[in-house]
Structure 1
């Protein structure tokens, strides 16, 4: 387990007696690394990104397609393969964004099951240590014969498979939870629900593309691209004939598109889902719950994380926004920062060149 990685929860250590073979020690170490990587992906809310340890064991012909250990005479090759697999588990774990670790029930419930599986594996190892215990060779050295170590390698693979199945279940649970939240949100929110007022939508979209002036900075581009979309309206349920159409609630897709057109290309984990955008931004240090910091170019996330818009102006204690999927169209709104219903704002990345 890499000491440089912040873990969601520490998986109990797996230990084997000193007389165990290098191959058994290697598979136990790799199994622990794999479970820890799975747990950290779970805590970050990304269980689907967890490594597929069992598949690697099969690919290296360490276990068969039923997760039964395959005996081998080339122990050095097996140990080398397992150490490579363990290293790949550590690399996956190092890539987990620990700043996104959550405390939601799906992760907690799954971890309880995973910890139970790990403890059961340690119990299986301990049982073998007690009975039949070690054999002794002609030189007086203790060892475990293949009749003992083979089933223990199988137990490692079985534990890993159990963990991966629990991760798959967690992925499904998280997706269902997200869909429940998404389905409970209004499809076409209006500013009145967040304490603002709406400018009349007096003219339809011009149909013209916006071309920024050669000297335009990032903020001017954001304002220009957003304003150019005013009047775009749905031609069917949640359908707009524009690049940000997803045939679903499209406020987040619109806001992300405006940023991308302006030179800010952010790879959100789900650009169409406001809670994911806010969570990702928080993980990157761009989210700010202090609305007094709102400024043109920001994305504003509204209370409940059901809606998002683009800030195009700041006037004292008020902001002007342009929002997609607002009353079935792209509309302009005004909010008093003291009276609005906000989660916060997302500032453009600090490295993005901006103009005043």
Structure 2
């Protein structure tokens, strides 16, 4: 067994229930000697080690999941984390959530702490760090771990990776703006050469190439501040650009503010599409077109995949991409009336 054996594995090997194994671990007098012997034999065969302090922390038979997120200030990641946590809670698991704030040293610290406290599994949206500094500590501990939304370790047979179909999202956004008659379309936001940036740009590049058009990219931290600054810069230095696909909704919302400051009417003078479709897209004015990723569903499905791995031994597929769709609103279609 390549992963650390769980109480479920012991129960299966001994031919008893999970609660019976728990009773053996708690030295319950209700367990018959013969049954106790079967369970202890299975534990020895599997190399199962009982972490009593972690079990006490978890509240006995409740599993503990480590949920490590790179940027909980971003509503996209917050919604993912909330959805995953609720799914774990519904199945009786406690969750330890850590925000690493894009800092590799914090990521290393929280992973080590969670291992020390006996987490049963990890769901991690990681910071970008060198491969040898990323998830190796988790591998050595033998704890099941899924990479979600970002991939830093290529060993997806060890650390399965699940994300969204960002390339299709970029293509849908570009085809939407091309269908409205635009020909000078830029991609705004996202740090250059990061895998997620390249994925979101790839569909845009492909659609523009098929239309025989040039691309233009303006990279930067995916924040409202960057979006606001870029809107002002585009109006001042690149008036020929007619529309933009943003790396994220935060960038697009910042651009909305910048264009308002510059007196540019979004949806008429300039067409804009965000990426992620966070709740604010449908509430701002003009309402923001965006690539919907349904991150709440994705969070739920990711948690369910982890639970199937822990409880049934069904490791997730090495790679999974969840579907996306384009939601067109005022910022690209124009404000009615």
Highest Rg: 1 or 2?
1
TM range (shorter): under 0.3
TM-score by length of structure 2 reads 0.27
